[in-house]
């Protein structure tokens, strides 16, 4: 089949696992479970440690929905996808019209006319297939650039929060990650969104 829709590659954040900051001199020990209390849950390095280590988290699903930076990137990608899709649909409709005209007129054509028309249609079909591939690659490249920008901005936001609250570990939850819930006391989603959007608007991160 000549035509297949261009796969729409929407932006997703598939980061799973944690962003860790290792302090020099810290000894490894078993991680204590997060407690459902009114204080910020912490990780204890060992029993003799007087300063507990704090962790933070952000919800991927909320970032995708509520961040203006991410929403803008997705909208731009969808807009370009629609533009290319419409252009290709128009070209295909014109090609199909030519095929139907040929089928109607073929009985009255001479042999040379039929061969020439068939050759032209075959060449146009190849051009459409090439154009489809070019449009697909354009969307995929645009998607990759958007993902790289968002990853850079997200890293900047997480680094800022980590330094501000002296966190030793930061994780993303929800989405495709195995973590479905964290206590609200360690959830920095709103602050990540704020820094993410501010950094993009002020172009602090290029």
Please, is 71 exposed, middle or buried when counting C-beta atoms within 10 Å of its C-beta (0-12, 13-18, 19+)? middle
CA-based nearest residue to 173, from 187, 192, 157: 187
User: Hey, which residues does 43 pair with through a beta bridge?
Assistant: 53
88: number of Cβ within 10 Å: 19
Q: What is the pLDDT along the chain (206 residues), one digit of tens a residue?
A: 333 333 333 333 333 333 333 333 334 444 444 444 343 444 444 445 555 679 999 999 999 899 999 988 889 999 999 999 999 999 999 999 999 999 999 999 999 999 999 999 999 999 999 999 999 999 999 999 999 989 999 999 999 999 999 999 999 999 888 898 899 999 999 999 999 888 777 655 44
pLDDT of residue 161: 95
| Spatial contact of 51 and 1, defined as CB atoms under 8 Å apart | no
* 60 token code pair: 């991927």
Can you list the positions of beta strands (E) in 76-189?
167-173
The model's pTM is 0.66
Say if residues 9 and 140 touch (Cβ distance below 8 Å): yes
């Amino acid at each position: 089949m000549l035509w297949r829709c261009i796969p729409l590659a929407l932006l997703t954040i598939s980061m799973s696992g944690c962003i860790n900051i290792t302090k020099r001199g810290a000894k490894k020990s078993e991680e204590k479970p997060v407690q459902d209390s009114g204080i910020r849950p912490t990780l204890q390095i060992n029993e003799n440690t007087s300063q507990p280590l704090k962790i933070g988290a952000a919800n991927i699903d909320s970032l995708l929905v509520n961040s203006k930076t991410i929403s803008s990137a997705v909208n731009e990608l969808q807009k370009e996808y629609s533009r290319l899709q419409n252009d290709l649909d128009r070209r295909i409709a014109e090609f199909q019209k030519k095929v139907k005209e040929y089928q109607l007129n073929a009985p009255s054509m001479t042999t040379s006319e039929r061969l020439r028309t068939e050759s032209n249609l075959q060449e146009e079909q190849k051009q459409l297939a090439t154009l489809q591939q070019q449009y697909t690659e354009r969307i995929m490249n645009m998607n990759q650039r958007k993902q790289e920008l968002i990853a850079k901005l997200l890293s900047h936001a997480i680094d800022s929060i980590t330094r501000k609250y002296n966190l030793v570990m930061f994780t993303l939850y929800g989405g495709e990650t195995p973590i479905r819930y964290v206590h609200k006391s360690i959830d920095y989603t709103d602050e990540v969104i704020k820094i993410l959007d501010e950094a993009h608007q002020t172009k602090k991160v290029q």
